[in-house]
Amino acid sequence: MTQGVGVAGIYVRDQDEALAFYVEKLGFEVHTDAKNGDYRWLTVQYPGQDGFQLGLFRPQAPLVDDATIEAFNQSIAKGAMPPLVLVVDDCRAAYDRFNAQGVEFTQEPVARFGSVDASFRDPSGNGWKLIQAR
């Protein structure tokens, strides 16, 4: 793939915590982890999905001002950030695997609309839908 979305990021409250969650619990792999002073460009990839990186970023100065940082941190913690969808071959198997890792599920797998879906949150509060590929 040469064209298309390469990186899309989410905001997290703590990048170390997010890294541990996405890599150790969900099985993502680190793509780039580059620090420059206080700034850290951190992206992960779903195994086998080479064309796309998920950025795990922190709202931070000097890119945004303090009041905006505070507003983002509140929005993240309230679960008010945009929807995220993780597609898997087998939702129940992924649920069992993630649940055993201590992932915070907000909805157990439900079969409907010709698929199976569940919901979980990352430690920051970002909500993921876990959907079985049709």
Partner 1 sequence: MVGNKPERAGQDPQLLRRLLRAKDRMDAASHEEWPVDQLASVSGVSEAHFARSFKEAFGVPPHRYLLTRRIEKATALLRDTDLTITDIAFQTGWSSLGTFGRIFRDITGKAPGEFRADDQAARHELELVPHCFVSAARRPDLKIAVSEKRRQESGDNGDGSNQQEIP
- What is the number of alpha carbons within 13 Å of residue 102 lying toward its C-beta? 6
Asked if residue 59 has a cis previous peptide bond (ω within 30° of 0), the answer is no
3-state secondary structure of 88: strand
Burial 84-112, CB ≥16 within 10 A → b, else e? bebebeebeebbeebeeeebeeeeebeee
Nearest distance from C-beta of residue 70 to partner 1, angstroms? 4
Nearest distance from C-beta of residue 113 to partner 1, angstroms? 6
Binding mask 13-52 for partner 1 (x = CB under 8 A): x---------------------------------------
- In the region spanning residues 76 to 95, those forming contacts with partner 1, defined by CB under 8 A, are 76-79, 83, 85
Burial class (CB in 10 A: 0-12, 13-18, 19+), 2: exposed
**Stretch of 34-42, 47-55, 90-98, 110-118 contacting partner 1, by CB under 8 A:** 110-118
**Of 17, 25, 41, 73, which one interacts with partner 1 (CB under 8 A)?**
73
- Residues in contact with partner 1 by CB under 8 A are 13, 67, 70, 73-74, 76-79, 83, 85, 104, 106-107, 112-113, 117, 119, 121, 124-125, 129, 131
